[in-house]
Amino acid sequence: MPVARINGTTLGYDVYGTGEPVVLVTGTAAPGRVWRSHQVPALRAAGYQTITLDNRGIGPSGPCEEGTTLADLAADVAGLIDHLGAGPCRLVGFSLGAIIVQELLLARPELAAQAVLMATCGRADALISAMAAADVELCDSDVKLPPRYAAYVQAIQNLSPRTLNDEQRLQGWLDIFEMSPVTPAGVRHQLGLQAIADRLAAYRRVRCPCLVIAFRDDLIARPHLGREVADSIPGGSYTEIAGCGHYGYLERPDEVNSAIIDFFARPRRSPARRMP
């Protein structure tokens, strides 16, 4: 994996194939390799170059230190695009990664041609705020959850009833979760970043064509929060995929990939200017 010095830190990244570039930005505590199973092959088959990165806190990228902000993470992605000479490019973000992309669209609009925002929000409601605070408190407590228990909790939080009720599929997910525990110390300062202030008014300034994808059974970024983002972005599009939870891009990858690729194939027109 190549490593670049960007924005005062190191960023690990991978580039797959050739063609028009698509940058994929992951969520909290997730490495860039999570895209390799489904999204990278689908996008490459559609003729796109794919670029993945590890956000701060995920090795080999540098640490996510106290005081790291969403603006820092957006600047990291922008710096990588500059480093690779990939802009203006298409972007795909998931969960915290979608919020990072949203901030990049405001800070460096010239780098973005189109953006897909999955499982996103434009404000932290009471539940997101409570979850973020609880995650930080658990991390700071030094309590280590047994891997089997942590896997069960992760499944309940992130998968749909459709998957939870399919015993064979569920066992596969539980095995993955148990074998891939999150190391809280490494991502401690990512944990609270999704508890954002209300940014919906700011998103009225976004001029990049955007598609928001929500997952119908998502208990974390519930669909109405994603619809708020789509409604705030001038010309924003919204689609909702059934039968999947927060990890919908991994639960129902074919439907998600089709939505992304179909959106990218649309003519790129600047959205109409919305009056403030």
Domains in the chain, CATH or no CATH each:
3-124+194-264 (3.40.50.1820)
166 is catalytic: no
pLDDT at 258: 98
- Lowest-pLDDT range of 34-38, 55-59, 101-105, 232-236: 55-59
| Options 61, 95, 160, 232, the catalytic residue | 95
Question: Could you give the CA distance from residue 23 to residue 90 in angstroms, rounded to a whole number?
Answer: 6
189 is catalytic: no
Tokens of 267: 């003519």
Count of residues for the chain? 276
218 is catalytic: yes
Q: How many CB atoms lie within 10 A of CB 98?
A: 30
Segment 250-267 mean pLDDT:
96
pLDDT at 79: 98
* Contacts of residue 32, Cβ cutoff 8 Å, sequence gap at least 6: 12, 13, 14, 24, 26, 52, 53, 54, 58
Q: Is residue 268's pLDDT more than 80? A: no
* 259 within 8 A of 265, measured Cβ to Cβ: no
Which residue in 269, 201, 200, 198 sits closest to 235, CA to CA? Answer: 269
pLDDT at 102: 98
Q: How many CB atoms lie within 10 A of CB 140?
A: 12
In this structure, are strands 9-16 and 20-25 parallel, antiparallel, or unpaired? Answer: unpaired
Question: Could you give the CA distance from residue 215 to residue 210 in angstroms, rounded to a whole number?
Answer: 16
pLDDT at 129: 95
pLDDT at 272: 42
Which is it for the CA torsion 97, 101, 119, 49, positive or negative?
negative
pLDDT in tens, 182-229: 766 668 889 889 899 999 999 999 999 999 999 999 999 999 999 999
Rg (CA), the chain: 18
Q: Is residue 271's pLDDT more than 50? A: no
Computed over every residue of the chain, the mean pLDDT equals 93
Tokens of 22: 């698509």
Q: What is the 3-state secondary structure (H, E, C) of the chain?
A: CCEEEECCEEEEEEEECCCEEEEEECCCCCCHHHHCCCHHHHHHHCCEEEEEECCCCCCCCCCCCCCCCHHHHHHHHHHHHHHHCCCCEEEEEECHHHHHHHHHHHHCHHHEEEEEEECCCCCCCHHHHHHHHHHHHHHHHCCCCCHHHHHHHHHHHHCCHHHHCCHHHHHHHHHHHHHCCCCHHHHCCCCCCCCCCCCCCHHHHCCCCEEEEEECCCCCCCHHHHHHHHHHCCCCEEEEECCCCCCHHHHCHHHHHHHHHHHHCCCCCCCCCCCC
- Lowest-pLDDT range of 5-9, 62-66, 117-121, 242-246: 62-66
| Options 72, 76, 160, 246, the catalytic residue | 246
| Options 54, 72, 218, 232, the catalytic residue | 218
